[in-house]
Chains A and B, each alone.
Chain A
Amino acid sequence: MSQTSEPSADAAVTEAPAPVSQSETKQSPAGKKQNKKKVEEVVEEEEEEYVVEKVLDRRVVKGRVEYLLKWKGFTDVDNTWEPEENLDCPDLIAEFLQSQKTAESGGKRRAESDGDGKETKKRKDEPEKLRGFARGLDPERIIGATDSSGELMFLMKWKNSDEADLVPAKEANVKCPQVVISFYEERLTWHSYPTEEEEKKDDKN
Chain B
Amino acid sequence: VNNNKNSNDNITYRSFKNKGKEPTKMRDRRIAECVELRKAHKVESIMKRRNISSVGDEEPLSPEDNTDNKQVISETIQEIVANVNGECPEKQRQGCQAARKLLSRERNPPLKEIIEAGLLTRFVEFLGRNDDPTLQFEAAWSLTNVASGTSWHTQQVVEHGAVPAFIALLASPMLNISEQAVWALGNIAGDGPSYRDGLIDCGVIPALLARLTPDAPVGYLRNLTWTLSNLCRNKNPFPRFSAVQQMLPSIIQLLHHSDKSILSDACWAISYLTDGPNERIDVVIKTGILPRLVELLGFEELTVVTPALRSIGNIVSGSDLQTQAAIDAGVLSALPQLMRHPKSSVQKEAAWAVSNIAAGPCQQIQQLITCGLLAPLVDLLRNGDFKTQREAVWAVTNYTSGGTVDQVVHLVKCGALEAILNLLQAKDTKTVLVILDAINNIFLAAEKLGEVDKLCLLVEEVGGLDRIEFLQNHENNAVYRAAQALIEKYFSEDGDDQCLTTEATDSNFVFGPSDLQKRFVF
Q: Is B178 an interface residue (CB 8 A)?
A: no
Q: Is the CB of B36 within 8 A of A120?
A: no
Q: A101-B401, A155-B61, A163-B62 are in contact. Are A63 and B314 (CB under 8 A)?
A: no
Smallest Cβ distance from B326 to chain A, in angstroms? 13
Question: Please, how many angstroms separate the alpha-carbon atoms of A194 and B33 in the complex?
Answer: 11
CB-based nearest B residue for A203:
B35
Q: Is the CB of A163 within 8 A of B63?
A: yes
Smallest Cβ distance from A13 to chain B, in angstroms? 4
Q: Is the CB of B58 within 8 A of A13?
A: no
Q: Is the CB of A143 within 8 A of B58?
A: yes
Q: Is A149 an interface residue (CB 8 A)?
A: no
Smallest Cβ distance from B478 to chain A, in angstroms? 7
Within 8 A of B (CB), among A89-133: 97-98, 100-102, 106-111, 113, 116-127
Within 8 A of B (CB), among A158-205: 162-165, 187-189, 191, 193-194, 202, 205
Q: A85-B499, A117-B307 are in contact. Are A194 and B32 (CB under 8 A)?
A: yes
Provide the residues of chain A in CB contact with B511, threshold 8 Å: none
Q: Is the CB of A102 within 8 A of B320?
A: yes
Q: Is A9 an interface residue (CB 8 A)?
A: yes
Q: Is the CB of A63 within 8 A of B36?
A: no
CB-based nearest A residue for B359:
A107
Q: Is the CB of B437 within 8 A of A121?
A: no
Q: Is A12 an interface residue (CB 8 A)?
A: yes
Q: Is the CB of B488 within 8 A of A62?
A: yes
Provide the residues of chain B in CB contact with A122, threshold 8 Å: 148, 183, 186-187, 226
| Interface size bracket, A side | 35 or more
Provide the residues of chain B in CB contact with A157, threshold 8 Å: 59, 61
Provide the residues of chain B in CB contact with A9, threshold 8 Å: 477-478
Provide the residues of chain B in CB contact with A193, threshold 8 Å: 25, 28-29, 32
- Render B471-484 as a binary contact track against A, CB cut-off 8 A, 1 for contact: 00000011001101
Q: A60-B440, A189-B33 are in contact. Are A113 and B275 (CB under 8 A)?
A: yes
Q: Is B37 an interface residue (CB 8 A)?
A: yes
Within 8 A of A (CB), among B417-449: 430, 433-434, 436-437, 440-441
Interface of B is mostly: helix
Which of B32, B59, B398, B478 sits near A107, CB closer than 8 Å? B398
Q: Is the CB of B25 within 8 A of A162?
A: no
Which of B109, B268, B355, B359 sits near A117, CB closer than 8 Å? B268
Question: Please, how many angstroms separate the alpha-carbon atoms of A110 and B280 in the complex?
Answer: 13
Within 8 A of A (CB), among B380-404: 394, 397-398, 401-402
Provide the residues of chain B in CB contact with A62, threshold 8 Å: 484-485, 488
Provide the residues of chain B in CB contact with A77, threshold 8 Å: none
Q: Is the CB of A63 within 8 A of B488?
A: yes
Q: Is the CB of A60 within 8 A of B233?
A: no
Provide the residues of chain B in CB contact with A107, threshold 8 Å: 356, 358-360, 398, 401-402
Provide the residues of chain A in CB contact with B183, threshold 8 Å: 122, 124
Question: Please, how many angstroms separate the alpha-carbon atoms of A163 and B441 in the complex?
Answer: 70
Q: Is the CB of A111 within 8 A of B265?
A: no
CB-based nearest A residue for B54:
A144
Q: Is the CB of A120 within 8 A of B230?
A: yes
Q: Is the CB of A101 within 8 A of B360?
A: yes
Q: Is the CB of A17 within 8 A of B437?
A: yes
Q: Which of A106, A111, A124, A125 has the most CB of B within 10 A?
A: A124
Provide the residues of chain B in CB contact with A63, threshold 8 Å: 485-486, 488-490, 497
Q: A17-B434, A191-B33 are in contact. Are A162 and B60 (CB under 8 A)?
A: yes
Question: Please, how many angstroms separate the alpha-carbon atoms of A121 and B229 in the complex?
Answer: 11
Provide the residues of chain B in CB contact with A205, threshold 8 Å: 39
Q: A60-B485, A117-B306 are in contact. Are A189 and B186 (CB under 8 A)?
A: no
Question: Please, how many angstroms separate the alpha-carbon atoms of A100 and B320 in the complex?
Answer: 12
Provide the residues of chain B in CB contact with A188, threshold 8 Å: 33
Q: Is the CB of B398 within 8 A of A13?
A: no
Q: Is A53 an interface residue (CB 8 A)?
A: no
Question: Please, how many angstroms separate the alpha-carbon atoms of A116 and B306 in the complex?
Answer: 10
Q: Which of B147, B190, B478 has the most CB of A within 10 A?
A: B478
Question: Please, how many angstroms separate the alpha-carbon atoms of A146 and B36 in the complex?
Answer: 15
Q: Is A148 an interface residue (CB 8 A)?
A: yes
Smallest Cβ distance from A144 to chain B, in angstroms? 7
Q: Is the CB of A108 within 8 A of B497?
A: no
Q: Is A52 an interface residue (CB 8 A)?
A: no
Provide the residues of chain B in CB contact with A88, threshold 8 Å: none
Which of B63, B145, B307, B497 sits near A162, CB closer than 8 Å? B63
Provide the residues of chain B in CB contact with A108, threshold 8 Å: 316-318, 356, 359
Smallest Cβ distance from A16 to chain B, in angstroms? 9
Q: Is the CB of B187 within 8 A of A121?
A: yes
Q: Is A24 an interface residue (CB 8 A)?
A: yes
A146-B41, A148-B45, A191-B33 known, 12 other contacts, Cβ within 8 Å: A9-B477, A12-B481, A62-B488, A106-B359, A109-B359, A111-B275, A111-B314, A123-B103, A125-B106, A143-B59, A162-B62, A193-B29
Q: List 21 A-B contacts (CB under 8 A).
A: A12-B478, A13-B436, A13-B485, A62-B488, A63-B485, A98-B361, A102-B359, A102-B361, A108-B356, A109-B352, A109-B359, A111-B352, A116-B268, A123-B149, A124-B145, A144-B44, A145-B41, A162-B63, A189-B37, A194-B32, A202-B35
- Smallest CB-CB A-B distances: 3 pairs: A107-B359, A63-B489, A120-B190
> A interface vs B, CB < 8 Å?
9, 11-15, 17, 23-25, 60-64, 85, 97-98, 100-102, 106-111, 113, 116-127, 143-146, 148, 155, 157, 162-165, 187-189, 191, 193-194, 202, 205
